[in-house]
C-alpha cells in the first residue's frame, strides 16, 4: 500500500537538484510552459471531475490548480527578495489552510490559470535577466532551517509545477476521463 500511495503522492518522483549544466535553462523553460500545459490538462473537465481528489486524503484537482499560483506567487516574491536583500528570511505560509479557503475549494479555475499566465510571464522575464552571480544569492527558510540559492529554488519550483501537473494527468489516466 505504501508504494501505491507514494506513487500517487509523487507521480514524477521527489525533487532532486543536480546542478547539471543546462538544468537551470531547462527549469526556466518548464516554468514558462507550465500554464499552457495545465490549461490543456484540465480542458473539458466537469465540476465533478475538478472536485475529484488526486489521491485518498489529497487535494482535489481544483485545489491543486488554485495551489500552484498561490505557491508560485510566494516563490516569485522570495526570488525578488533574495535578489534585492542580503539573504532575507522569507515568510512561510500554511499551504494546507490556503487550499481550504473557499475560493480554492470551489472557485473558478480560470481565475488561477489566468493568474498563472501573467505570473509565469513576469517570473520568466525576471529569471532570464539574472546573472550567474545573481543566481548564487540566497534566502533563508525558517521552517526548513535552510538557506537556498536562487538557482536551486528555480529548479525546485519547475519540479513543483511538473509534480502537480502529474497529479492531474495521472488522475485523468486512472479515471479514464
Query: For position 29, which CATH number holds?
Result: 1.20.120.450
Entry pTM? 0.95
Q: Quick one: how many helices (H) and strands (E) in the chain?
A: 8, 2
Q: Is 4 inside a domain boundary?
A: no
pLDDT at residue 1, rounded to an integer: 53
Q: Is 79 inside a domain boundary?
A: yes
Report the residue count for the chain.
Answer: 177
Q: Are 157 and 119 within 8 A, CB to CB?
A: no
Q: Is 123 inside a domain boundary?
A: yes
Tally the domains of the chain.
Answer: 1
Domain residues for the domain of 88 are 21-175
Q: Is 100 inside a domain boundary?
A: yes
pLDDT digits (tens, 9 = 90+) for 117-174: 999 999 999 999 999 999 999 999 999 999 999 999 999 999 999 999 999 999 999 9
Q: Is 167 inside a domain boundary?
A: yes
Q: Is 166 inside a domain boundary?
A: yes
Q: Is 1 inside a domain boundary?
A: no
pLDDT digits (tens, 9 = 90+) for 57-72: 999 999 999 999 999 9
Q: Is 63 inside a domain boundary?
A: yes
pLDDT digits (tens, 9 = 90+) for 114-132: 999 999 999 999 999 999 9
Query: Looking at residue 136, what DSSP letter applies?
Result: G
Amino acid at each position: 500500500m505504501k508504494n501505491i500511495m507514494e506513487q500517487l503522492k509523487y507521480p514524477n518522483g521527489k525533487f532532486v537538484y543536480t546542478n547539471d549544466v543546462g538544468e537551470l535553462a531547462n527549469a526556466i523553460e518548464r516554468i514558462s510552459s507550465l500554464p499552457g500545459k495545465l490549461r490543456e490538462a484540465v480542458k473539458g473537465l466537469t465540476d465533478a471531475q475538478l472536485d475529484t481528489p488526486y489521491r485518498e486524503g489529497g487535494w482535489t484537482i481544483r485545489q491543486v490548480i488554485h495551489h500552484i499560483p498561490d505557491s508560485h506567487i510566494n516563490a516569485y516574491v522570495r526570488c525578488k527578495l533574495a535578489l534585492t536583500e542580503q539573504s532575507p528570511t522569507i515568510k512561510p505560509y500554511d499551504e494546507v489552510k490556503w487550499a481550504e479557503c473557499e475560493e480554492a475549494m470551489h472557485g473558478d479555475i480560470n481565475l488561477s490559470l489566468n493568474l498563472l499566465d501573467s505570473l509565469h510571464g513576469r517570473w520568466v522575464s525576471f529569471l532570464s535577466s539574472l546573472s550567474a552571480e545573481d543566481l548564487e544569492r540566497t534566502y533563508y527558510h525558517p521552517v526548513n532551517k535552510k538557506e537556498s540559492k536562487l538557482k536551486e529554488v528555480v529548479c525546485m519550483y519547475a519540479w513543483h509545477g511538473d509534480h502537480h501537473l502529474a497529479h492531474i494527468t495521472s488522475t485523468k489516466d486512472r479515471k479514464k476521463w
